[in-house]
Structure 1
Amino acid sequence: MDAPLSVPAPGTPAWGDPLTEALELTGVRCVLSRGLTAAGAWALAFPAPGRLKVQAVLQGTVWLLVEGAEPPVRLEAGGAAVLAGDRPYILASDPAVPAVDALPLLRASAEPFFHTGDDGRDTVTIGAHLELDTTAEDLLLSLLPPVLQVGAATAEARTACWLMEQTLRELASDRPGASFAAGHLAPLLLVQVLRAFLTGADAGHCPTGWLRALADERIAPALRLMHGDPSRPWTLAELARAAAMSRTSFAKRFKDVAGVPPLAYLRRWRMHRAEHTLRRADTPLSAIASALGYGSESAFSNAFKRATGLSPRHYRETVRSA
């Protein structure tokens, strides 16, 4: 049984790490992983994945064209790209090659790799779909750009390529524990994706939200405090002091990058934690209330209903029956 509201002791690696806290809520799992080998001139059109999609190139060069995102992205061997999942896209040897529907090729074979183009293996690429819990989709998918390139020279890309290759091997094998192994590789892949985003140039241009705030060096210390001890009644003055800013400057900067004022962010984060616990554990409401800093079960229930439109008990029954 999960115990999602336990807070690590100070000094442990997860203490106050907002990314670790958020990843605990994702419930990420790899639902599909396929490889593609290709040669000559080729282009394949894919529908919107509907899920977070990671594409890694192990050999050769692949062009990635995402609907509504310009210009086309050139992926070299060892590089990867991340798609938020809401737009159709094309993989091609050259952007000028007319694309054909990829779905018939995918359906024609259940093999882990399918082939297109001429004979040979000039190009080898792997795609993985990552499915997230509803809370994680709200936290992540709406905040990522349509396409994020992870350069081949980065440590994150090298690790992502290796993880995807291992995931494909596990899913294609009949070895004992293959599904379990693939399921545990998916969260590691998501870590590399988010690390690449947070250290890249795109982080400062993403939509407002916790991910952009996490990439902001001035705001990050305050985020770590709130995530490290969500039950504490943090004041604006304490959070501003952690960021070495005046209260006015801190409040403005926080709202500019996170989209909400600091204390509103804290309340929202508490509700994300509560939703996660209600979905996955039978923790009493009084214990959830205490762990999140509410003085009583009724105070927590009222706050939860204001945030979600449902009482905690009704929410737990609804999501579990679904």
Structure 2
Amino acid sequence: MDVLSDAIAAMRTGVPHSSRTLKSAPWGLRFAASEGAGFHVVLQGACWLIPPAGEPVALAPGDVVFLAHGRGHAIADDPATPLVDVVRAPDGGWQLNEDVPPGNGPGTLMLCGAYQLNRARAHPLLTGLPDVVHLPARIGSHPALRAAVDLLGGELERPGPGSDAVVPALLDTLLLYILRAWLQDRAGQAPTGWAAALADPAVADALHAVHRDPGHPWTVEELGAHAGLSRAAFARRFTAVVGQPPLGYLTWWRMTTAGRLLATGDAPLRVIAQRAGYSSEFAFAKAFKREFGVAPGRYRREQGAQGAAVLE
């Protein structure tokens, strides 16, 4: 897997939700803070995104906004319109906290969606995103993102056989295209954070190598050679761009991968230990407990119990 796919897989939990919504002015929706992330796409009409801090953002047809940090936000036909709280429904979706009569003003048609995330193992690529990722509609820009929006909108408007499988897959695809588009838009700017890491050929090559094979017994010298740099030059460059030393990131990613395997599958501990780069279950269990605070077996049981509670 590549770094971008892995960053999402490391945090994603549960099933994403989406809706196709038509609102007539006046209207205003307030979303509480949550562990997830969400997006809005304006298909027709216009509206305003009201972030938890900063000025409202005007949204036009075709605009996409992604809110990665779950800090709460509002969306309305006008920043001055009173807001109605939107709360989580039992199925994980969203519903209005009170009945509100429809307005008779101009309409706004939107796609809205939410992803459930585990922030306990938040990948720095996602935590480094701004509070609001705004991708304005521009002719010819991000055709893949526009195609994903069209497919999702059509599936929500006209569900057909297999929609229960198609919609979550399209939501995952849309999230990847949103992040790709944001990274592409930053290509002409001075990159910072993980945008800089993926834009730096040497650092990106090393990251992709680690993500392709986290179980390999990587050394700083070998990663440096993979990146075409000396050991010392690579270590300085990687640490400056990524924010932690190469082997520190390798250990963090190995443990993150192991935690995901324990939580989502039934592979034996010896297999997970090998995939995480450990030659023995004992060494793996010791490293895992140091990172997570519990033994691997207990972690698997606890994660399984949490998943069962969500399904109930």
Distance 1:76 1:218, change over 3 A: farther
Distance in 2, matches of 1:242 and 1:315, equals 34
Question: In the alignment, is the contact (CA less than 8 A) between 2:35 and 2:118 conserved in 1?
Answer: no
Distance in 2, matches of 1:142 and 1:129, equals 17
1:313 maps to a residue whose letter is G
Q: Runs of 5+ in structure 2 lacking a partner?
A: 88-94, 307-312
Distance 1:258 1:140, change over 3 A: closer
Distance 1:134 1:38, change over 3 A: closer
Q: CA deviation at 1:188?
A: 0.8
Pairs aligned (count): 295
Distance in 2, matches of 1:273 and 1:204, equals 31
Identity of aligned residues (%): 34
2:83 maps to a residue whose letter is V
Partner of 2:219: 235
Partner of 1:6: none
Distance in 2, matches of 1:125 and 1:115, equals 18
- Per-residue CA distance 1:6-42 (angstroms, 9 max, x = gap): xxxxxxxx4xx22233344444555432333345565
Alignment of 1:95-174 (within 5 A): 95=79, 97-103=80-86, 106=96, 116-121=102-107, 123-133=108-118, 137-138=122-123, 141-153=126-138, 154-155=141-142, 156-166=144-154, 168-169=156-157, 173=159
Question: In the alignment, is the contact (CA less than 8 A) between 2:49 and 2:58 conserved in 1?
Answer: yes
SS at match of 2:215: coil
Distance in 2, matches of 1:20 and 1:56, equals 22
Distance in 1, matches of 2:82 and 2:237, equals 45
Distance in 2, matches of 1:302 and 1:280, equals 21
SS at match of 1:219: helix
Distance 1:92 1:233, change over 3 A: same
Q: CA deviation at 1:212?
A: 5.6
Question: In the alignment, is the contact (CA less than 8 A) between 1:233 and 1:293 conserved in 2?
Answer: yes
2:61 maps to a residue whose letter is A
Q: Runs of 5+ in structure 1 lacking a partner?
A: 1-13
Partner of 2:269: 285
SS at match of 1:77: coil
Distance 1:85 1:59, change over 3 A: same
1:185 maps to a residue whose letter is L
2:236 maps to a residue whose letter is K
* 2:191 is aligned with 1:201: no
TM-score under structure 2 length normalisation: 0.81
Partner of 1:300: 284
1:182 maps to a residue whose letter is V
* 2:267 is aligned with 1:267: no
Distance 1:24 1:314, change over 3 A: same
2:289 maps to a residue whose letter is K
- Per-residue CA distance 1:172-226 (angstroms, 9 max, x = gap): x4x54332222222211221122123223299666x5x66633444410110111
Greater mean deviation of Cα atoms: 147-156 or 27-36: 27-36
| Match for residue 213 of structure 1 among 194, 197, 217 | 197
TM-score under structure 1 length normalisation: 0.78
Distance 1:118 1:215, change over 3 A: farther
Q: RCO higher in 1 or 2 (8 Å CA, sep ≥ 6)?
A: 1
Partner of 1:192: 177
Distance 1:119 1:73, change over 3 A: closer
